[in-house]
Structure 1
Amino acid sequence: MDKNLRPRRSALYLPASNAKAIAKARTLPCDMVILDLEDAVAPDMKDEARDAAIAAVHEGGFGDREVAIRANGLDTPWGAADLAAIAGSHADAVLVPKVDGPDDIVAYQDALGSAPPAMQLWAMIETCASVANLPAIAAMAGSTRLSLWIMGTNDLAKEMRAQLTPCRTPFLPFLSMAVAAARSQGIAILDGVCNEFRDLDVFEAEARQGLMFGFEGKTLIHPAQIEPCNTVFSPSEAELAWAHAVIAAFELPENAGKGVIKVEGKMTELLHLEQAQRLVAVAAGIGATG
C-alpha cells in the first residue's frame, strides 16, 4: 500500500521490554505499533529492550500494522547501538527523538546507511529548537528517508515550562505550523499523546482537535484509546457519501474538462475532487486493514 494513503489513525507506543504488551499488540486494532526504547525504558534495561524489540520485529505477526522502533538519541550512550541494530531489522521505520534541526536528520540518515531502502525515518517534533526549524527539517524529506513526524507535546511542554491542559492552548500555533510544514514537503504527521486514558471523553475531544488541525492520526499510550481514535480519524458515512458523489459527478461526460461544477447544489472544484479521491482511498485502506 502507498505509505501516503495507508491508514495511520492510531499509533500505539509500547515499552519494548514488555513482552506481554507486544504480544497483545499483535491482536489490537491499531494501525501502527511503536516499540519504544527511549522514554518507556529505564537505563539499566536499554540493552535488553533493544534485543527484545529486534526479536519481536523478526518474529513478525503484526499483520498490516506498520511497526517502528523508537531509538534513543545519538547523543545518548545507547543511540548508536540502537540505530545499528534497527538498521539490520525488518522494522518499517525508526523513530528518532528530540530532533532540533536538519543536521540531526543528516546524522540519523548516515547512521542508517546499511538499512534497506524501504526503511523510513520518522522524527519526533518535541523541542523548542525544532519548532523554530520546522521548514528546514521538512525540506530534508527530499534527500533522506524522512517521511513522518510525530508531535511530542509532553517533552515540548517540559522544555517550554508550559501547562499541558486539555485545550492545549499554548501549543496550538505550533501544531498548525508543524502540519503546514509537513504538508509542504509531503511528510505524514501524527498528533502527540493524550495523557488521559481513563476519561475517554477527554481523549476524544483532543483527538477531534487533532483532526481539525489536519493530523492523519494520533499517538497513544493505552489500548483503551485505540477505538475512539480510529473512530475520530476514520471518514464518516456522510463524508464518504459526499466524496463518492463528487467523484461520480466529475466522471459524467457533460463535466469532462471542467474545473468547477455543482454537486448537490454546491460549487465543487478540482481540488475537492482530489480530496474526495484521497478520502475514498484511505477508507479503502481502513477496510483492508480492519
Structure 2
Amino acid sequence: MSTVHPIAPRTALFLPASNARAIEKARTLDADMVLLDLEDAVREEAKDDARAAAVSAVGQGFGARPCAIRVNGLGHSAHNADVAAIAESKADFAILPKAESAQSVALVASALQKPLLVMIETPLGVLNAADIAALPEVVGVIAGTNDLRAELHIPDNAPRDAIGVALQTIVLAARAHGCWALDGVFNALGDAEGLERECLAGRALGFDGKTLIHPNQIAVAARAFGPTDAEIEEARALIEAASGGAERFRDRMIEAMHVERARALLARVDGQAVLPCSR
C-alpha cells in the first residue's frame, strides 16, 4: 500500500467532477493537489456521469500534480459504484467524507485499495479521529469545517475559534499517526484578506495546507502555508550553526529537534511535489 509523502500539499483544490471546463483548467493551475468531487458538488441526477468523467480525468492525469477522487459517503446510493470505479482508476488517492469510525473506514479502504484521505466532519468523527488516523491506509485527515459548524449547531458567522477544539483534535490525531492535516475550505470567494487570515490561523494550529474551492484562492493559501524568506534564512543559518546537543543560537537555545524542523522546512521549499511513498 502506498501512503504519504513527508511533504504535504499546501493547496488542495476541490473541483466538481461534472465540470469538464474546470477539470481542463486545473491542468494549468499551480495547486499542489487536485481533488475531484463526486459528493456535495454534484447533483444527484449527474452522479453517474460525474463518476465516469472523474475516472477519465485521472486517466489523463494532471501533470506532476497528484489527484484524488472524493466518493459519496457510506449509505449513499452511489457509494458502492464510486468505490468500485475508483479502485480501478488511476487516481493517486481516494477521499472518504464524513468518516466516523475506524471500523467503517477500514472496510472502505479495503475495497478501494488506494491511499485514503478522510474527512472529519461530525462530532463522532472528531471523537474517533485518532483511531481513524491510526489506520495504515489513511494518509491524511481533512477538517470538514462547514459540516462541523452545522453538526455542532454553530452559526456560520460565529468566530472560527468556536470550532477550535475540533480543529486541534484533528491536528493532534494526524500528528500522532504521521498523517497529513489539511484545513477546511473558505467560503467567501471574494475575501482574499479573510482567506489569508484563516490560512495563517490554520498554519498556527499545525495544519499542513488548506483545501480550496476556487482557483483564485491558490496563491494566497500557498503563500500562507509556505515558509517566509525570513524563516528560510533562519532555518539555513540554524542548520549551519548547529554542532550537536543543546546550544545557543541567536539568543535562544536549540537542540536536535530544532535542526530536524529546520531541515523539514527547507525540504518543503526545495521539493513541493506531492507523491505517494511509504509511511
TM above 0.5, yes or no, is: yes
Name structure 1 gaps, 5 residues minimum.
Answer: none
Once the two structures are superposed, residues 146-205 of structure 1 have per-residue CA deviations (whole angstroms, 9 ceiling, x without a partner) of: 110111011111112211337312100111111011100001110000101101111111
**1:1-290 equivalent positions in 2, closer than 5 A:** 3-60=4-61, 62-112=62-112, 115=113, 119-141=114-136, 145-165=137-157, 167-250=159-242, 255=243, 258-286=244-272
**Which SS does the other structure have where 1:64 is aligned?**
coil
Structure 1 position 288, deviation (Å): 10
Q: Would you say the 8 A contact 1:189–1:215 is kept in 2?
A: yes
Report the alpha carbon displacement of residue 63 of structure 1 after superposing the two structures with TM: 1.7
Larger mean CA deviation between 89-98 and 167-176 belongs to 167-176
Q: Which amino acid aligns with 1:274?
A: E
For the 8 Å contact 1:197–1:225, the answer to whether it is kept is yes
- Structure 1 residue 132: Cα displacement: 1.4
What SS does the corresponding residue of 2:35 show, helix, strand or coil? Answer: strand
Q: Is contact 2:100-2:122 (8 Å) kept?
A: yes
Identity score, percent: 43
Q: Note if contact 2:133-2:140 (Cα within 8 Å) is conserved in structure 1.
A: no
Give distance in 1, aligned partners of 2:8 and 2:101: 28
RCO comparison, higher one (Cα < 8 Å, 6+): 2
Normalising by structure 2, report the TM-score: 0.94
Task: State the distance in 1 between where 2:179 and 2:6 align.
Answer: 12
Q: How far does the alpha carbon of each residue in 1:59-87 deviate from its partner, in whole angstroms, 9 at most, with x for none?
A: 12x12212000000131111111011101
Unaligned runs of 5+ in 2: none
Question: What is the CA deviation profile of residues 256-290 of structure 1, one whole-angstrom value per residue up to 9, with x for unaligned ones?
Answer: xx31122233211111001001001111113899x
Deviations 1:223-268 (A, max 9, x none): 1110100000111111011111111122xxxx2xx31122233211
Structure 2 vs 1, CA of residues 39 and 226 (structure 1 numbering), >3 Å: closer, same or farther? same
Task: Between 129-138 and 32-41, report the one with greater CA deviation.
Answer: 129-138
> What amino acid does structure 1 have at the position aligned with 2:77?
P
CA contact 2:97–2:119 (8 Å) conserved in 1: yes
Report Cα offsets for 1:43-72 as digits up to 9, x if no partner.
Answer: 100000000000001112x12212000000
Identify if the C-alpha distance between structure 1 residues 166 and 229 changes in structure 2 by more than 3 Å, giving closer, same or farther.
farther
1: CA distance between counterparts of 2:129 and 2:142? 12
- Say whether the 8 Å CA contact 1:72–1:82 is kept in structure 2: yes
SS in structure 1 opposite 2:116?
strand
Task: Work out the CA distance in 1 between the residues paired with 2:157 and 2:228.
Answer: 28
Question: What is the root-mean-square deviation of aligned Cα atoms in Å?
Answer: 1.7
- For 2:7, give the aligned amino acid: R
How many residue pairs are counted as aligned between the two chains? 273
Residue identity matched to 2:21: K
> Structure 1: which amino acid aligns with 2:214?
H
* CA-CA distance at 1:105 after TM superposition: 1.3
Give, in whole Å, the separation in 1 of the partners of 2:158 and 2:197.
8
Give, in angstroms, the shift of residue 41 of structure 1: 0.3
Question: CA–CA distance in 1 between the matches of 2:87 and 2:181?
Answer: 22
- Where 1:140 maps in the other structure, the secondary structure is coil
